[in-house]
Structure 1
């Protein structure tokens, strides 16, 4: 009679320190930071007035038409990407080896910093501001997209915590 054991899985989980509370909270905050802009984009794709005239929606964003799929798809992809840091603080499911996941997380952190910087440039260009029909719409847009700028900092902190925990395990 062969007895199956889960000792290696239990041993690997036990040898890695759990994620600190601040890292878990930061990972959840990342997921929440993507929600307002995603809802704003979905509202735009659904025809809810978000500050753009019908002509701008049609000519610039392709709404109605292919732009709906693009805007909704962008919202879904952004939220899925924002859920990625939860893998770094979870002890339940690891789709990749810790070193691979750490390398992927550092790459994601770097990309997020670059994207945030590029979005700042886009946000403050004259062309992007002329599409909005009012100052109120620009203010709402600013509040909705502002949480996205916290993601690079939070992601870098969560990644650092993950790498530190797994580097310590490798030395032990």
Structure 2
């Protein structure tokens, strides 16, 4: 009979659980992407969302290849909006804390830059001329407005994650 002596595994430092506000912020990010995703899916389905049939056909290629693009963009945006949930979850982490922190900070910076870029696009003359009415433009603005909360929320959730995992490999 063999007796194996096993040394106890070294304990890794355990990070504190995410604060309630960070958990709520991560969930809010996922919810902020829903209205614009539903709007895009409605657009791809042929529901009137403020664009004429000619604009849908000529600019967005709907019906046609544009349907796959618009639905795919909606799915991709929602999947990306679920990423912050990894920063507040204690269950599964695909990367080590240091790598996850780097990815999260990079995502935060990219989101801030994209939000600034979208503001420029939203206020250009060309982006406003496709809508058929001021009412449609107003509805569009309310539908897409929650997306502008995402960069601030992502930065706060990332800061919380980085603070809790400071010094871990």
TM-score by length of 2: 0.93
Does residue 47 (structure 1) correspond to residue 46 (structure 2)? The answer is yes
1:7 Cα deviation (Å)? 6.5
Query: Could you tell me which residue of structure 1 aligns to residue 19 of structure 2?
Result: 20
Counterpart of 2:89 in structure 1 is 90
State the distance in 1 between where 2:83 and 2:168 align.
23
Partner SS state of residue 165, structure 2 = helix
Residue 31 of structure 1 corresponds to: 30
* Count of equivalent residues: 167
Name whichever of 14-23 and 156-165 sits farther off. Answer: 14-23
Structure 1 Cα separation of the partners of residues 146 and 164 of structure 2: 27
Structure 1's consecutive aligned runs of 4 or more residues displaced over 2 angstroms after TM superposition are none
Alignment of 1:129-148 (within 5 A): 129-148=128-147
The answer for unaligned runs of 5 or more in structure 1 is none
* 1:69 corresponds to 2:32: no
Gaps of 5+ in 2: none
TM-score, normalized by length of structure 1?
Answer: 0.91
SS at match of 2:94: coil
CA distance in structure 1 between the aligned counterparts of 2:99 and 2:14, rounded to whole angstroms? 18
User: Relative to total residues, which structure has the larger helix share, 1 or 2?
Assistant: 1
- What is the aligned-residue RMSD (CA, Å)? 2.1
Contact map agreement 2:56 2:62 (CA 8 A) in 1: yes
Could you tell me how far 1:170 is from its partner in structure 2? 3.7
Partner residue, 2:118: 119
